[in-house]
């Protein structure tokens, strides 16, 4: 960490751009990782399984199924592609605004936002390029989903849990 000192009696300060650069790198790495993992697994499912096909057949707990979903989670809003594209774009803008206002150096908050953004962009890519989202993780008695959906859920749960952290008061540490 680079330190800047203006005079022998001046307080030592952290180089602020360094903190923001690390935060941006973390955000980009997690978001891009989520997008790449999502798109790669969807491409593999489309290549290996015909639409509607399940593997392994007869396994009752969880299996892989090639499902094309024109709606949202749990199959709601089928055929509402333009509405879902617009809502995804709004979600991306909201996440970026939250990142902009994020406390410097809060890695957990940054990573959680990146997971939400990565998942939203992963499904947005499918909706824009294909008009539907490929779902494939298919637990018994639960609708199929994909890694983008998982990224969004994990990110949102993390954000909720992080909201319960005790906040430092502005006076803390000044005594």
Helix (H) / strand (E) containing 48? helix 16-48
Helix (H) / strand (E) containing 133? strand 133-139
Show the tokens assigned to 114: 């990146």
Pick the catalytic residue from 38, 135, 138, 171.
135
* Cβ 81 vs Cβ 90: under 8 Å: no
Rounded Cα distance, 53 and 7, in Å: 70
3-state helix, strand, coil in the chain (%, to 5): 55, 15, 35
Exposure on the CB side of residue 71, measured as CA atoms within 13 A: 8
Pick the catalytic residue from 15, 126, 138, 149.
149
Is-catalytic flag, 149?
yes
Burial class of 106 by CB neighbour count within 10 A (0 to 12, 13 to 18, 19+): middle
Place of tokens 């809502």: 87
Q: Which residues are catalytic?
A: 135, 149
């Amino acid at each position: 960490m680079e330190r800047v000192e203006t005079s022998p009696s001046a307080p030592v300060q952290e180089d602020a751009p360094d903190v923001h650069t690390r935060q941006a790198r973390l955000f980009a790495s997690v978001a891009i990782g989520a997008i790449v993992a999502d798109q790669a697994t969807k491409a593999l499912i489309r290549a290996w399984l015909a639409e509607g096909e399940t593997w392994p057949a007869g396994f009752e707990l969880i299996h892989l199924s090639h499902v094309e979903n024109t709606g949202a989670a749990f199959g709601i809003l089928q055929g509402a592609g333009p509405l879902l594209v617009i809502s995804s774009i709004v979600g991306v803008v909201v996440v970026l605004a939250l990142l902009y206002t994020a406390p410097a150096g809060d890695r957990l908050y940054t990573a959680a936002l990146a997971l939400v953004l990565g998942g939203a962009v992963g499904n947005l890519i499918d909706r824009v390029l294909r008009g539907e989202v490929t779902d494939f993780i298919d637990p018994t008695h639960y609708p199929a989903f994909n890694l983008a959906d998982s990224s969004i859920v994990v990110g949102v749960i993390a954000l909720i849990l992080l909201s319960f952290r005790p906040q430092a008061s502005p006076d803390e540490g000044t005594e």
